[in-house]
Structure 1
């Protein structure tokens, strides 16, 4: 069965909505990218209009911006420390936007969407 981003079949009370039509191609959803820590691997996804989106399957480097010195550098990612999207992502080292990661330069917060953009950008956190 296809993943759908269409309207739910259940009401907030638990009752059912009666479907007036089936699924549409425009409501198609896809499985999450679940960007992991490993050598760089990209997946190409065909989107509407024949365009392409790059999904980052795995990566072990990130572009890190230092707000104090106003410089950016490429650093190695060591591990995922926090992920507010899902606590289980920390155990599985899955990187999403907002995740706190340990890098060779210190703690950093991910500011890009790796599953959508195909790259990991972040900002150094001073604690």
Structure 2
């Protein structure tokens, strides 16, 4: 399946054949499935002169509460809308609901992309 680049169909529905294979920068990566555990980061080279920090494992989350940010210990993943199996395997993605020392937290960052877990308290 081709996710990026030119469409494989013309407006009329006719087929467009690829004019080149994927280049190195057009290839995708396996998703970083950030798990609950001792903090472990991985630095990955990005296109251009930059790096991307991936969180392989995370043990704390920065939680926004009433105008201040508190570091909370992550206990486990309660729910994850991205994939029900992620909650069972304690995998953190954006939108996951975590049980922390501060209460229930919804993740607002992308730990596999920017290397940190940020979230807001969930009122329920």
**Residues 58, 8 of structure 1: CA spacing in aligned structure 2 closer, same or farther, 3 A cutoff?**
farther
Question: 2:80 corresponds to which residue?
Answer: 83
Greater share of residues in strand: 2
Aligned pair count reads: 119
**Runs of 4+ deviating beyond 3 Å:** 4-11
Report the RMSD for the aligned CA atoms in angstroms: 2.1
- SS at 1:42 equivalent: strand
CA shift, 1:74, in A, is 0.4
Contact 1:5 1:27 in 2 (8 A): no
Question: 2:21 corresponds to which residue?
Answer: 22
Question: 2:54 corresponds to which residue?
Answer: 55
2:97 pairs, out of 76, 89, 100, with 100
Which 5+ residue runs of structure 1 have no aligned equivalent?
none
Question: In the aligned structure 1, how far is the partner of 2:62 from the partner of 2:38?
Answer: 15
Which 5+ residue runs of structure 2 have no aligned equivalent?
10-14
CA shift, 1:9, in A, is 9.1
Deviations 1:63-99 (A, max 9, x none): 0111xx3221101011101111111100110000000
- SS at 2:92 equivalent: coil
Question: In the aligned structure 2, how far is the partner of 1:59 from the partner of 1:71?
Answer: 21
Deviations 1:14-41 (A, max 9, x none): xx76333211123121111100001000
Contact 2:36 2:91 in 1 (8 A): yes
Question: In the aligned structure 2, how far is the partner of 1:6 from the partner of 1:70?
Answer: 40
Question: 1:112 corresponds to which residue?
Answer: 109
- SS at 1:36 equivalent: strand
